Amino acid sequence: MSAAEVLVVVRGGLEWLLALGAAPVLVYFTVVNTFSLLIIVLAALELRMQQHRDSAEVASHVGELIPGVSVIVPAHNEQAGVVQAVKALLTLRYPRHEVVVVDDGSTDQTLQCLVDAFDLVPVPRAVPQDVPVEAVVRQVLVPRDGRTRLVVVSKDNSGKTEAVNTGINAATETLVAIIDADSVLEPDALLRVARPFSDDPIRMVASGGSVRAANGSRIVDGRVVRVQLSRRWLPRIQVVEYFRAFLLGRAGWSRLGCLILISGAFGLFRRDLVVEVGGLNNSSIGEDFELVLRLHRHLRDQGRDYRLGFVAEPVAWTEVPESLAVLRRQRRRWHRGLWETLSAYRGMLLRPRYGRVGFLALPYYWVFELFAPLLEALGLIMLAAGLALGVIDVEFALLFLLLAYGYAAFVTLCALAVEEWGFHRHERWRDLPLIMAASVLENIGYRQLTVWWRLEGWWASLRGKKQVWGVMTRTGFDGGATRAGRDRAAR
Amino acid sequence: MRPQSLDIAIATTGWLCLGMMLLIVLLRVRRLLRARRQVALMAPYRRDLLVVGAGEDHDGAGARRLARTHGPAAGEVMGSAVEMLGKVRGTPADELIHLLTIRGEVSEAARRLSSLLAVRRARAAHVLGLCQQDPAVPQLIHALGDSTVEVRAAAAHALGLIGNPVAAPPLLRAVGATDAGIPACVAAEALLAMGTGVAGALLDGLADPQPRTRDVAAHVSGVGAFTRCRPQLRALLRDDADLTVRQTCAAALGAVGGAEDAEVLGRHTRQGVPLSLRRVCVAALGDLGDPEALPALAMLLHDPDPWLAELAAAALLQIDPGAGSTLSDMAGTEATDPRRGRPVASALLVAGLRGAVTE
C-alpha cells in the first residue's frame, strides 16, 4: 500500500471518527465547564453563609463543647523545617490540642532537632494498635517540662500512610487532624475547621480545610505574614488551580452535601471512626480520598446519619512544585490514586443506598475527573490530525478551543472574582494582573501537560507498575535552606 | 469565511473574560474605598468611643458626642459601638447600651428581627442579645425556628447573653430539630450562661428523643455542675443508643458525680464495652477523684490495651499522689513483663515530669 493510499485510509478513519465523536467532545467540554461554574456558584453561596455567621459574631463562640484535637504530623527527613513547624502548631489558637509528630525513620537529623529544640525525654509508652501498623515503634518522647503537649513517636521507615496510622494510635484526643509536616496553618485554622464538630458533635465525622499554595509568600516563624505570588509562572498557575479546584470546588461539593475528598494536607476526622474503618489504607496511593470514601461506605452501610464538612476560611499553606519534573510525578500519582480508588469503590456507583455520593459525586468523578484527560487528549489529537489532513476546518478548531479553553478561562476568572469578594488574600496590586494572566495561561500549555501526565499515571496503574515516591527538592518557605522530602500528597 | 455565529461566540467569550477581569478590579477598588470611607467617617469619633469603652468617660462628654452623630457617620459609629459592646463588661457596657437605646438601635433591632434579609435578622438578634433586652426573649425564641442557620445561631447566642432561663426548653428543642437545628456549641454556651434555672429543662433534655439534644444537655449538666441530673446521666451512660452521648455522660459524671458513681463508671471500663467509652470512663474516674474508684482502676493496670492501662495509672495518681511508690514496684517489672510494666512506668514518668507525684 502506497503512502497516498495510507493517507486516504487515515483520512477516512479520521472523518468517521470526527463524525462520531466531534459533537460528544464539544458537549463534554460544555458540560464540564458549566458544571465547574455551577460548583463555583454553590461555593459562593456557601461562603456567603459562612460570612453571615461571622458577621453575626457567633463564629468565635466555640465554647466548651469543642472537642480536643490531636494534630498528627508525619515527618520524614524534614530537619530543615520540622522544629519551626511544630512550634507553630503548638501555638495554634485552640483550647485543647496536642501535637503528635511521627518520625518515619528519618535518615537526617529530624529526630535530633526535635529532641534538642523541645528537650525531649523518652517515655516507656506502648503505643496501642488500634489501627494495625506493621512498622516497629522505636521510642516515644515527650518534653521534659511535662506541660507542653507534644508527643514524638520514632518508628522504622514504612511510608507516610503507616506514619499517620501510628500517629492515630498515639493520639489521645477525640479528633485527629492530619497535616503535612511542611504545611503552615493559620493561627485559628484549627479552631475554624473544628467548628462543624462543635456545631454537630453527634453527626459530624470529618471536615476539611482549604489548602493554598504558599510559594512566594513571606513566612516568619511558621506563620504566613505576607501573601504574595511566586516569581515563577508554574507556581502562579497552581495558585489559581488550587483556588478553583481545591477551595471552591470542595466548598461547592460540601454545599451539595456530597463531599468525597478531604485533602491529606489538612483534614480533621473523628478518631474513633477512623479506627473503626481501619485507618488509612497503606496500599492506596490516594489514601486521603480512599479514607473518605471508606467512611462514606461504612456509615451508609450501617444506615447512620452523618455529615462531612468543608470550611473555606481556615488555610493550610503548602509549597507546590516549582519544577516540571516534580509536578509531573505529583500529577501522575494523583491520577493513579484517583483511578485506583474509584475502581476500588465502583460498587458504590449509582447505588441508591449511597445517596448523593453514589448518584452525583462519584459519577462526576468518573466522567469529569478520571476520563477528562482521555477525552481532552482525544480531542486535541483529533484537532491536530484533522487540521493537518484537512478533515476539519478552522471553524471547528476554533469552536473546540473556545469551549474547552476559552470557557475554562472564564470559569477560572469567575473563581478569582469569588476570591476577591470573599477572601482577598492577595492584597498586592501587582499580583492582580499576574493572577489574572495565570488563569488564562493555565489553558495554554500547562493544562495540556497535566493531561499527558495524568494519562501516564493512569497507564502506569493499568500496567501494574509499582508506584515509587519521588524525592521532592524544595526551595523552602524561607527561601533559605533547600529541603528534601517525599513528594507531597496534597490533592 | 467564518460563520457569523462563531465570530459572535468568540467575541462573547473574550468580552466575558474581560468583563470578569474588570469586575475583579472593581471589587477590589470598592472594598478599598469602603474601608477608607469607614476610617474617615469614624475618625472624629474614635477617641470618644475608646474613652467610653474603657470606662473613662467620667463626665459623659464622650457619650454625648457619640449620641449626637448624624448622617452616614451615625451608622458607622453605632456599628462600632455594637462591636465594642461584645468586648466590654460593667459600666462601659451599660453606657454603650444606653447609647444604642437612645439612638433607637435597640427598638430598630426588634423591628429588624422580621426583616426579609437573613443577615439583618441575625444582626438584629445579636444587638438584642448584647443589649440584654429581656422583653425581646419571646421574639428571639421565635427566631430559633428561623429558616436560616445564622439567624437561629444568633438568636440562641442572644438568649444566652440575656440569660433568661425561660428560653432553655425551646433552646434545647431547637438543638435537636432535624433539618433546622442550631449549633450545639452555641446552645450549650447559652444554657450555661442562663445559670441554675435551666436544671428542669436539662432533665427534660436528657430524656429527649434526639441524640443531639441529649448530648448538649449531658454536657451542660457536667460543665455546669447540675447534680440533679446524675440519675439521668447514669441511665444514659448505661442505655443510650448513641456512643457519643454515652461518652459525654461519662465525662459529665466524672465532673459532677459522687462516690456511688465510681462503681457506675467502673462498670463501663470492663471488657466488652466499646474501647473509646472505656477510655473516657477511666479518665472520668480520675476526674471524679473519689477513693472508691481506686480498686477498679487498680484492676485496669493490667488491661491488654496499653493506653487504657496508662490512663488508669494516671487516674490512680490523680486520686492518690501517694500511690507512686506502689506503682513504682509494678513499673519495676517493665523488663520482665513489659505489657504490664510499661504503661505504669510511662504514667509514673509523665506524672513525675508534671510534678504530680509525691513520695
Beta bridge mates, A483? A474
Distance between B212 CA and the closest CA of chain A, angstroms: 6
- In A246-298, the DSSP E strands lie at 266-270
Out of A124, A128, A202, the one facing B334 most closely (by C-beta) is A124
> Residue A21's pLDDT is what?
77
The residues in A 303-322 lying below 8 A from B, measured between CB atoms, are: none
Distance between B126 CA and the closest CA of chain A, angstroms: 6
Report helix, strand or coil for A61. coil
The residues in B 169-208 lying below 8 A from A, measured between CB atoms, are: 181, 183-186, 188-189, 192
Q: Is A488's pLDDT higher than 50?
A: no
| Contact between chains at B354 and A146 (C-beta distance less than 8 A) | yes
Furthest CA-CA distance within chain B: 97
> Residue A56's pLDDT is what?
55
- % of chain B beyond a pLDDT of 90: 69
> Residue B1's pLDDT is what?
52
Cell of B32: 478599598
| Contact between chains at B125 and A56 (C-beta distance less than 8 A) | yes
Hey, CA dihedral for B83, B87, B92, B94, is it positive or negative?
Answer: positive
Rounded to an integer, the average pLDDT of A100-115 is 94
Among B123, B149, B185, the strongest candidate for a mutation testing the A interface, having the largest count of A CBs within 10 A, is: B185
Q: Is A480's pLDDT higher than 50?
A: no
Q: Which CATH class is domain A15-491?
A: alpha beta
> Residue A481's pLDDT is what?
35
Do A208 and A266 touch, CB atoms closer than 8 A?
yes
> Residue A246's pLDDT is what?
81
> Residue B156's pLDDT is what?
95
Out of A53, A142, A440, the one facing B153 most closely (by C-beta) is A53
What pLDDT digit, counting tens, does each position of A424-477 carry?
888 899 999 999 999 999 999 999 999 999 999 999 999 987 765 555 455 555
Q: Which residues contact A315 (CB under 8 A, 6 or more apart)?
A: A185, A186, A189, A209, A210, A211, A212, A224, A425
- Cα dist. A274→A161, A219, A392, B57, B201 in Å? 13, 33, 53, 56, 35
A83 touches chain B (CB under 8 A): no
Q: Which residues contact A384 (CB under 8 A, 6 or more apart)?
A: none
Rounded to an integer, the average pLDDT of A20-30 is 84
Domain ranges (residues) in chain A? 15-491
| Contact between chains at A417 and B9 (C-beta distance less than 8 A) | no
Rounded to an integer, the average pLDDT of A357-365 is 95
- Rounded Cα distance, A443 and A438, in Å: 9
Q: What is the mean pLDDT of chain B?
A: 90
Report helix, strand or coil for A143. strand
Of A476 and B220, more confident:
B220
What pLDDT digit, counting tens, does each position of B10-22 carry?
899 999 999 999 9
- Of all helices (H) and strands (E), which one includes residue B252? helix B243-256
Q: Is A10's pLDDT higher than 90?
A: no
**What's the N-to-C CA distance of chain B in angstroms?**
97
Rounded to an integer, the average pLDDT of A152-164 is 93
A332, A337, A343, A347: CA torsion to nearest 10: -150
B352 touches chain A (CB under 8 A): yes
- Rounded Cα distance, A314 and A215, in Å: 18
Among B31, B83, B119, B150, the strongest candidate for a mutation testing the A interface, having the largest count of A CBs within 10 A, is: B150
Q: Is A49's pLDDT higher than 60?
A: yes
For A65, name the nearest residue in chain B, comparing CA atoms only.
B185
A200 touches chain B (CB under 8 A): yes
A 10 A CB-CB count for B183 gives 29
| Contact between chains at A146 and B352 (C-beta distance less than 8 A) | yes
What pLDDT digit, counting tens, does each position of A193-234 carry?
998 998 899 999 999 988 889 999 998 888 888 999 999 999
Minimum mean pLDDT range among A77-86, B195-204, B247-256: A77-86
| Contact between chains at A56 and B122 (C-beta distance less than 8 A) | yes
- Rounded Cα distance, A295 and A271, in Å: 12
Do A315 and A186 touch, CB atoms closer than 8 A?
yes
Of A233 and A3, more confident:
A233
Q: Which residues contact B330 (CB under 8 A, 6 or more apart)?
A: B301, B340, B341, B344
> Residue A491's pLDDT is what?
32
- Cα dist. A387→A22, A30, A420 in Å? 13, 22, 40
A107: burial class by Cβ within 10 Å (0-12, 13-18, 19+)? exposed
Rounded to an integer, the average pLDDT of B98-126 is 92
Distance between B321 CA and the closest CA of chain A, angstroms: 16
Of B326 and B226, more confident:
B226
pLDDT band at residue B270 using 50, 70 and 90 as cut-offs: very high
Rounded to an integer, the average pLDDT of B30-46 is 94
Beta bridge mates, A204? A307
> Residue B134's pLDDT is what?
95
A144 touches chain B (CB under 8 A): yes
Q: Is A47's pLDDT higher than 90?
A: no
Cell of B333: 517489672
The residues in B 127-166 lying below 8 A from A, measured between CB atoms, are: 148-151, 153-154, 157
Out of A58, A125, A145, the one facing B157 most closely (by C-beta) is A58
Q: How far is CA B91 from the centre of its chain?
A: 26
Q: Is A478's pLDDT higher than 80?
A: no
Q: What is the number of CB-based contacts under 8 A between chain A and chain B?
A: 175
Out of A124, A402, A424, the one facing B342 most closely (by C-beta) is A124
Look up the ipTM and state it.
0.87
What pLDDT digit, counting tens, does each position of A289-335 carry?
999 999 999 999 999 999 998 988 778 898 899 999 999 999 999 99
Specify the pTM. Answer: 0.89
A57 touches chain B (CB under 8 A): yes
Distance between A269 CA and the closest CA of chain B, angstroms: 14
- The alpha carbons of chain A give a radius of gyration, in whole angstroms, of 23
